Chains A and B, each alone.
Chain A
Amino acid sequence: MQVTVSFLGPLRDRVGEKSLLVELPAAATYRDLLDSIGPTMQARLPDWAWDSGRRSFSARMMVSRNLAADLRDETTCLAEGDEILVVLPLAGG
């Protein structure tokens, strides 16, 4: 199945792309997605965005699946066509 990972705001500039289309096996979990994109994230994102120890987005990032509640549970099963939104929720103005 295919899942889109969208990077918005400062993360888009860091990743260098607005989104990544990721191919995953059926019934893949959020953990599987993190493992799949981990090397790319490790290479492109700074420490404040990617936690190399946890092999996950850092705690400061906000991750949402299809704009539902904040995604934290790595055992969450993903589905075909899901959009995973990743933002750094720090703003003012």
Chain B
Amino acid sequence: MLGYMGKLLRVDLTSRTLRDEPLDPETARALVGGAGYAARIINDEVPGDADPLGPKNKLLFMTGPLTATSFPTTARYEVCTKSPLTNMWLDASSSGWWARDFKMAGYDGLIVEGVADAPVYLWIKDGKAEIRDASRLWGMDSDETQAAIRAELGDEKIKVSCIGPAGEKLVPLGCVMNDEQRAAGRGGAGAVMGSKKLKAVAVRGTMKVPVADETKLREVAKGLREGITHHPVVSQFTPYGTAFLLEDGWVSGDIPNKNWGKGVWRKGCELLNGRVMAETILVPHAACQGCFIRCARWIKINEGRFAMEGPGPEYETLAAFGTMLMNDDLAAVCWANDLANRYGIDTISTGSVIAFAMEAYEKGVIGREEAGCDLTWGNVDAIIEMIDQIGNARGLGALLGKGVKRAAAELGRGTEAYAVHVKGMEVPYHDPRAYFSQATSYATGPRGACHMHGASFVLEQGAPRPDTGIPSEVDRFSNEGKGILAKLAQDKASVVGSMVMCMIASDGMIYAGMADALEAVTGEPWTSERVAQTGERITNLQRVFSLKCGITGADDTLPKRLLEGPDEGTHAGKIPDLSVLLPDYYRERGWDENGRPTPKKLEELGLTDIAGEF
């Protein structure tokens, strides 16, 4: 099948056996690849009641048909599993270079099952794979691990996806890291990897991906490049990175501050934004493989206690370790980012749990002795201390590393009121009180609160979507008509996660462009309608798995803090009304009043075989 290498590598760590199995063409046609294809495997093979950190859970590393082709922004892979943070569906995407080498080593995906009896890593090169001892790597941080494996195997071109100490210690905020601190960040895939005692997957590939129409693929890529170059906002990602958002996002109220308790923090945003970074500490560096946008930051801080050189923070991390914690020290955020990435913990969730702890400290629920530091807002020493504790699962950090939902449940004393999560996933840093469709997207997101699974707020901002019929002007504070925005954003994200391509680049593509790219690479007939339905099919399949895991429509909600009006800003006093938003969304989805896909909807999507499974 063109666009694919045609096989998956299945590794049973319990028996230490490896075997190739063919890619199923029908599944690929229906779900493309990446997190779409993985949703089928996980639905079929992982029981809903499986312990996420037990032997019945599986961990998949998946590429898509565009990976390792000439199409830009597609050097990405999806890590899919049952999440130890949310106990339901999880996919987490990462960029860099690893995915390209993995696919060029001859595989579309990797299925890891069982549990090894001692630390191991996988070494895959041009169609050959082996399990190797990782005892001496255990305890190393993510940067050290990559360097050690390259040295051991004697090849500097080897790419490594791995976990840091947090994943080894089964911290549910643990993520999977690769290359220059790129992260499959959210939901605890690193802890699943650690539970299997799998330290790393090292790859090197030189094989060629078969492409149906290379000329057409390059034409589509050219259109994407031109569209983004002239896009008033996406073009900002090149000079300023995603951090440019901090410069003006506070005006709309998009950026949360002080654990979502403060509507606006102009000073912080003025000191932390991408323009400031570009003017002070940014240095030229390579982008992700094959990317012309080059949003990734590389920074050099020459002096002071946070002097360093390396990957710099992007928007979410600047909000996590900056505005959420009332910390306006850009150098300290860079340091915290580096530390979190080395330990292998999700910066978004980590910032959120520290913000939660700071509020609990302020309210007297947590004391200085318990915290091991003075957890006052903006205290950079405390921020770094807490990252160290979480990354090493020690002290208060051992509790916080379980995520804010469980931390609040264990602490009690009213802390649930400011534990900001959906289904256990800490809310990323776009405020749904500034754009009400985002309330729906968060409440119903396939992996919990997530902007990567539905940034519907951009549709309320007037992002052009000529293929959808969405009007260019939408009242951001209206509760009416937002269900379709959430659905469109989620389904598009599902396709992006199956292709697998960059979410930022996809902002410059409508369904027709995505269809053209898929058709060029696979030779299959693709249309806008097929792309749209594929996205819907994937979203529903992921939802079905989560329903099997025990979530219900009652879990489709927002935390208390986000149902209180912000104190100031253009969104002051605004509160999304879920009693209007959710029924509207369910109607648009063809789901029943409890958020369950109806048999009719599943039949329409060709998913009748799973209709009776939840």
What B residues does A79 contact at CB under 8 A? none
Q: Which residues of A contact B251 (CB under 8 A)?
A: 8, 62, 64, 67, 85, 87, 89
Chain A binder among B178-186, B232-240, B549-557: B232-240
**B242 and A92 within 8 A (CB):** yes
Please give, as numbers and ranges, the residues of chain A lying within 8 Å of B254 by CB-CB distance: 89, 91
Select one of A62, A67, A90, A93 contacting B232, CB under 8 A.
A90
357-380 of chain B: CB within 8 A of chain A: none
Given contacts A88-B248, A92-B242, A93-B504, contact A59 B570 (CB under 8 A): no
Contact status of A90 and B458, CB under 8 A, knowing A59-B473, A70-B570: yes
Within 8 Å of chain A (Cβ to Cβ): is B244? Answer: yes
**B316 adjacent to chain A (CB < 8 Å):** yes
Interchain CB contact under 8 A, B247 and A93: no
Enumerate B387-409 residues with CB–CB distance to A below 8 Å.
none
Q: In whole angstroms, what is the CA distance A88 to B462 when docked?
A: 10
- Nearest-CB distance from A59 to chain B (Å)? 5
In whole Å, how far is A28's beta carbon from the nearest beta carbon of chain B?
22
Within 8 A of B (CB), among A49-84: 49, 59-60, 62, 64, 67-70
Residues of B within 8 Å of A93, CB to CB, are 237, 241-243, 245, 295, 314-316, 504
- Whether A91 contacts B472 in the complex (CB less than 8 A), given A8-B247, A10-B233, A68-B570, comes out as no
| CB of B235, distance to nearest CB on chain A (Å) | 8
Contact (Cβ within 8 A) B472 A87: no
Docked-complex contact B473 and A87, CB < 8 angstroms:
no
Please tell me if the beta carbons of A91 and B569 are within 8 angstroms of each other in the complex. Answer: no
- The distance from the CB of B7 to the nearest CB of chain A, in whole angstroms, is 35
Find the B residue at minimum CB distance from A8: B248
Contact A64–B570 (Cβ < 8 Å): yes
The smallest C-beta distance from B362 to any residue of chain A, in angstroms, reads 25
Chain B residue numbers with a CB within 8 Å of A16 are: none
Given contacts A67-B570, A90-B463, A91-B245, contact A9 B236 (CB under 8 A): yes
Chain B contacts with A in 435-469, Cβ cutoff 8 A? 451, 455, 458, 461-463
Given A8-B247, A8-B251, A10-B232: A90 and B461 interface contact (C-beta under 8 Å): yes
CB pair B461–A91 under 8 Å, yes or no, is yes
B247 neighbours in A (Cβ, 8 Å): 8-9, 12
Residue among A11, A49, A92 with most chain B CB within 10 A:
A92
**Number of A-B residue pairs having CB atoms within 8 Å of each other in the complex:** 82
Q: Is the interface of A mostly helix, strand, loop or mixed?
A: loop
Residue from A64, A88, A93 having most chain B Cβ neighbours under 10 A: A93
Interface string of A1-35 (1 = CB under 8 A from B): 00000001111100000000000000000000000
Q: Which residues of B contact A49 (CB under 8 A)?
A: 232
Q: Are B507 and A92 in contact (CB under 8 A)?
A: yes
Which residues of B lie under 8 Å from residue A70 when comparing CB positions? 570
Given A8-B247, A91-B461: A67 in contact with B264 (beta carbons within 8 A): yes
Give complex CA distance A10, B503 in Å. 20
A92 in contact with B504 (CB, 8 Å): yes
- Contact across chains for A91 and B458 when beta carbons are under 8 A apart: yes
How distant is B272 from chain A, measured CB to nearest CB, in Å? Answer: 13
| B568 interface contact, C-beta 8 A | yes
Residues of B within 8 A of A89 (CB): 248, 251-252, 254, 461-462
Report Cα–Cα, A64/B264, bound state, in Å.
14
Neighbouring B residues of A60 by C-beta, 8 Å: 461-462, 472
Assembly CA distance A67 to B570 (angstroms): 6
Instruction: Please report the C-alpha to C-alpha distance between residue A14 and residue B568 in the assembled complex, in whole angstroms.
Output: 29
CB distance from A92 to the nearest CB of B (A): 5
Distance between Cα atoms of A54 and B248 in the complex (Å): 24
- Residues of B near A91 (CB, < 8 A) are 233, 244-245, 248-249, 254, 458, 461
- The answer on a CB contact under 8 Å between B252 and A10 is no
A69 and B232 in contact, given A90-B458, A92-B507 (Cβ under 8 angstroms): no
Q: Which residues of A contact B241 (CB under 8 A)?
A: 93
B38-58 toward A: CB 8 Å interface, digit per residue (1/0)?
000000000000000000000
Listed in ascending order, the chain B residues whose CB lies under 8 Å from chain A are 232-233, 235-237, 241-245, 247-249, 251-252, 254, 264, 295, 314-316, 451, 455, 458, 461-463, 472-473, 503-504, 507, 568-570, 572
- 30 chain-A/chain-B pairs, Cβ below 8 angstroms: A8-B247, A8-B248, A9-B244, A9-B248, A10-B235, A10-B236, A11-B248, A46-B232, A48-B232, A49-B232, A62-B570, A64-B570, A67-B568, A67-B569, A70-B570, A87-B251, A87-B252, A89-B248, A89-B254, A89-B461, A90-B232, A91-B233, A91-B245, A91-B248, A92-B458, A92-B504, A93-B237, A93-B242, A93-B243, A93-B316
In the A-B complex, the 6 residue pairs with the closest CB atoms: A93-B242, A8-B248, A9-B248, A93-B315, A87-B248, A90-B233
